[in-house]
Each structure stands twice: as C-alpha cells, then as structure tokens.
C-alpha cells in the first residue's frame, strides 16, 4: 500500500543503496551471461559473435578456437537430430567449389558460387528445423569469405563440424 504522507513518498533513496543494488544486479547479469555462454544451445551465438568480430575475413578465425567451436557445434547439431544427408547438397556444393578452385586459383571465379551457398542453406533450413543453426552459422561465415584463404578456413570449419557431428553419433540418414 503506498504511503499516505506526501513527505514520505518524496524521500529520495540514498545513493549508497542504489549503488549496491546496481552493482548486485550487474553481478547477476554477468553471471547469467557467463552461464548462458556455457549452455550448448548458445554455441551458435558464440560462433557467430566470433565470426563477426573479425574485421579482416574468415581466415583470421584462430584455428584452435575454430576447432573447439566446431567440436561443440558438431555435438550440438547431433543433439538436435541434424542428419548428414539433410545438408548433402550443401556439402556437395562446397566440394564442387573446392574442386573448381584446384583448377584455377582466382577467387573472383568462385566468389559467386560461395555466395550462392546461402540460398541453399536457407532452403534446407526451411525444410528441416534441425538445419537452422547450421544455416545461421555458415551464412555468417560466408559473409566473411573474401579470399581464397577465407574459403579454405570455411572448408576447415565445415569439415571439422561434420567430423565432430559424426563423432558424437550423427548419422547419414
């Protein structure tokens, strides 16, 4: 019930109490953020954040971090029932670009095909919800591919993710 005396309702809260409350709330927020980053479902956001931090390109994604993220992400995808055959067209397209790259080391000749991987992912994600996390992460990665080195790092990430997906029990069908 609100106070009836108008002087009581106009008393300001002492600053020391505000500061303690604010610091306490900040501490809880930081703990919550740290805990959410450790939840398996948040690996997608963690990877996208890592990708977006790079101002240079996808090749600047540190390889050890990439492998750690691929391991967590592969396991996460397996837990969400992603089946390898659900991304077969995407994997085949990446392998075709890899083969084309061996013939000609000119990035501008494969750039269009790399960018066109995004609609393939969107289509697969629209058909199967288990592909959505892969689509989000790979689309963010594709946006950072601007050179042959970036493409090679993308392939490393995809191959590592699929390897860890299978290692954690992922199936082809």
Q: Is residue 27 part of a domain?
A: no
pLDDT band at 36 (very low <50, low <70, confident <90, very high): very low
Q: Is residue 25 part of a domain?
A: no
Q: How many domains in the chain?
A: 1
Q: With contact defined as beta carbons under 8 Å apart, do 56 and 146 qualify? A: no
Q: What digits encode the pLDDT tens for the residues 93-103?
A: 898 999 888 76
Residue 79 clears pLDDT 50, i.e. is over it? yes
pTM equals 0.74
Q: Is residue 9 part of a domain?
A: no
Q: Is residue 19 part of a domain?
A: no
Q: Is residue 110 part of a domain?
A: yes
Q: Is residue 14 part of a domain?
A: no
H or E stretch at 9:
helix 6-9
Residue 22 clears pLDDT 50, i.e. is over it? no
Q: Is residue 11 part of a domain?
A: no
> How would you class 134 by CB atoms within 10 Å of its CB: exposed for 0-12, middle for 13-18, buried for 19 or more?
buried
Residue 4 clears pLDDT 70, i.e. is over it? no
Q: Is residue 71 part of a domain?
A: yes
Residue 8 clears pLDDT 90, i.e. is over it? no
Q: What is the pLDDT of residue 43?
A: 95
Structural domain that includes position 82 = 40-167
């Amino acid at each position: 019930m609100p106070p009836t005396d108008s002087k009581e309702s106009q008393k300001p809260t002492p600053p020391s109490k505000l500061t303690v409350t604010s610091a306490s709330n900040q501490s809880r927020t930081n703990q919550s953020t740290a805990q959410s980053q450790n939840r398996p479902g948040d690996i997608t956001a963690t990877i996208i954040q890592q990708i977006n931090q790079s101002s240079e390109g996808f090749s600047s994604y540190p390889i050890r971090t990439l492998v750690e993220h691929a391991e967590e992400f592969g396991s996460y995808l397996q837990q969400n029932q992603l089946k390898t055959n659900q991304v077969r067209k995407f994997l085949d397209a990446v392998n075709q670009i890899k083969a084309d790259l061996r013939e000609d080391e000119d990035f501008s000749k494969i750039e269009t095909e790399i960018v066109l991987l995004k609609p393939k992912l969107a289509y697969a994600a629209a058909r199967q919800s288990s592909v959505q996390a892969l689509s989000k992460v790979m689309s963010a990665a594709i946006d950072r591919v601007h050179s042959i080195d970036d493409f090679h790092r993308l392939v490393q990430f995809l191959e590592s993710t699929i390897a860890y997906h299978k290692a954690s029990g992922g199936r082809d069908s």
